[in-house]
Structure 1
């Protein structure tokens, strides 16, 4: 006997196939699901970026850290007298007692000139690289005759034969040769053993101090001329604190992408930057900075007044990859929107699994981009990853849509979208403007294409 009962209809399945609302909900749900692997990819990019920074720090630590020079500073001891009243139990009277203490005055030079020659290069470890340099810094200038009357210190209270000269630096380990101070006609060696009690708030700076200098060089009414040469292995940046009443610095280097930093920029009239390197000149007057030439008790913290140049690898592949990944939601959303419009206008069924495969292919773009950019430049990695994903999705679309017209349109749209995102990534000042205009054009295109869809049907 034949079964005449009708088969139960799959109303939910039919609703998914025929309802525009159902397809929109399905596509939106898949986009939200794909945000999970996108977040993992962004975490991967940050992890690789931190790894790069660790490797760069390790390279710099072994070669030499950033260079900051603070000095030369004349360290001048002087006597201070403290009177105290001491009660005598036997006589029942107070006796005056004078105690002598030794304090220090720190004198900055009247003129400080520096000539800095920098030979830069890149060091690599595995897939990572860091900019390092070797620099020769020649300092010259003079101290004017010392007068501390403005500090209420008498000339006879100054201990002239105990004076020294101090230089502080952030890169003690990177010094390549012995340092000597030539003061007038005499030469003094620097040692790393100066009094810790006179150390200033710049706890990250190490100090070098000379032996006691000839008192005739600074106690007489004549200028004390000095010169010092320092050779460093360093990385990242070179800075100088302008302690001269007039401070000048001339810097030359073979580095083609300098970034001038600090409170003072080089003179535009003399600054030149070419593919073979750069030359720059600074001049800082005492009226340009808010500190005096004489200080008592401790060396002041003047790091905020430093100026100089950064020697950094300008192209940060991981930063560009991270910026690209931030547009992942836009790429997936617009690609799904294209397939949704094609499905709605052409009445071709696209299964949720096929949407999912397309979404996963789009997320693979970013893993390809990160992995390839570690072995090549960002543009080459972007081209390889983009072309691979576009070809894969185009061929897969051919098997879904059964025609050549729609897959070619999808491939062209993806190429235009990836090109648009690459342009935004490269721009800095105009990224927001170009991005806004591009999104407006995309919105207008979608509105134009979808104007004939009957949204009330389902």
Structure 2
């Protein structure tokens, strides 16, 4: 009889012990980290799928564009005297071994005026920003200083000089390219270059009146090209000026040089930007001999952004999943402790699973709607579900309203943090401080003595 009373007393202690209840709640929070980790993996998987679709769209339309040129390519020859001993004549015979090299001369001035017509292409639930750029490229070449390399005038093969332009996207070119050099026009044709990060376009040999042997030669070129996401230039001119307009309202100016802040303009109808880069601002010279250098690290331009990345925001929301579950369980635990109402661990588990369902709803709905609508629908659905369930557990409308208000405030607080970027840390810190203060004020009236 005494043993049964002891068992009953022990079972009652297990049921009413605050320490045991806290331990059970802590274990359930750790268990719920498992579905949250799966949800994070789901978001990453959907995000990777989006990147694959966007990459496929861009490849078919035209990838990002990097322009490098125009550049004057001038062959020159070097001499090496090879001496051979002749046993018969008992003397040396000399042979002049000639090797052909190339000089790459950058323009003295380079002006690029471009208009970018952009649009968002969709495939299913995914979209990518693509554009058609209409550019007018003008400038001039001045006489290069071969004397600095001890190259004699007679060794310069001006009759075999050409003009080259490099681009990362030949597929997107939508016009027959020809560059006006002096009074003549020269078509540009693609040329394969091994181990090059860009594709080369080159003219035929220039006429005598199109090379800057004694005086400056002006050039101009019209280029229409399809591209995606970003358009960049390498400032090969001794003075490079780029002017760009577009109908895309979400640009990101990137690269080694930023546009002039006084002339930059971004509105809901598009943007305007101007760059001016001088030779002294660059890290490379105006003339190269032997090989064309890899100087794409000096590129600058604009990246056209999709205004909202739903997966990025969903991933940021899931980072607060642990906080939502812990604080919600804490509210239920405080209500249980104050009201002496028993809540079974299984009921805590159901509440936790309902909270994790918020994120699957958020991801699935945001793929077909805006993030704001998806967040609102998912939040309302979960708050109503848990509030109604809390009414059946706690048997009190006051506690039900308290749970509903707490969850609404928590989801609203997290939504505000997600929208903020520069102030997310300070707003989050202040919010958590206030939440902690409220919990401390409520919990100070609870008797935490040993059971």
Q: Normalised by the size of structure 1, how large is the TM-score?
A: 0.96
* Alignment partner, residue 338 of structure 2: 345
2:2 & 2:112 partners in 1: Cα distance?
103
What SS does the aligned partner of 1:9 have? Answer: helix
Confirm or deny that 1:134 pairs with 2:127. Answer: no
How many angstroms does 1:88 deviate by? 3.2
Q: Deviations over 1:322-344 (max 9, x none)?
A: 01001100000000000000000
1:4 & 1:103 partners in 2: Cα distance?
106
Asked if 2 retains the 8 angstrom alpha-carbon contact of 1:160 and 1:219, the reply is no
Q: Deviations over 1:85-106 (max 9, x none)?
A: 3343545654332200000000
* Alignment partner, residue 110 of structure 1: 108
* Alignment partner, residue 359 of structure 2: 366
Of 315, 320, 329, the residue aligned with 2:322 is 329
CA gap of 1:8–1:162, structure 2 versus 1, over 3 A, is same
Asked if 1 retains the 8 angstrom alpha-carbon contact of 2:111 and 2:240, the reply is yes
* Alignment partner, residue 143 of structure 1: 141
How many angstroms does 1:150 deviate by? 1.2
Confirm or deny that 1:288 pairs with 2:281. Answer: yes
* Alignment partner, residue 19 of structure 2: 21
- Mapping 1:166-315, distance limit 5 Å: 166-193=164-191, 196=193, 203-315=196-308
Runs of 4+ in 1 over 6 A off after TM superposition: none
Q: Deviations over 1:189-214 (max 9, x none)?
A: 001136x3xx6x7x221010000011
Q: Deviations over 1:19-43 (max 9, x none)?
A: 1000000000000000000000000
Asked if 1 retains the 8 angstrom alpha-carbon contact of 2:183 and 2:210, the reply is no
Asked if 2 retains the 8 angstrom alpha-carbon contact of 1:73 and 1:109, the reply is yes
* Alignment partner, residue 63 of structure 2: 65
Unaligned runs of 5+ in 2: none
* Alignment partner, residue 389 of structure 1: 382
* Alignment partner, residue 158 of structure 2: 160
CA gap of 1:170–1:340, structure 2 versus 1, over 3 A, is same
What SS does the aligned partner of 2:102 have? Answer: strand
What is the RMSD computed on CA atoms of the aligned residues?
Answer: 1.6
CA gap of 1:345–1:220, structure 2 versus 1, over 3 A, is same
How many angstroms does 1:147 deviate by? 2.7
Confirm or deny that 1:49 pairs with 2:42. Answer: no
What SS does the aligned partner of 1:434 have? Answer: helix
After alignment, is 445-454 or 93-102 more displaced? 93-102
CA gap of 1:37–1:408, structure 2 versus 1, over 3 A, is same
* Alignment partner, residue 408 of structure 2: 415
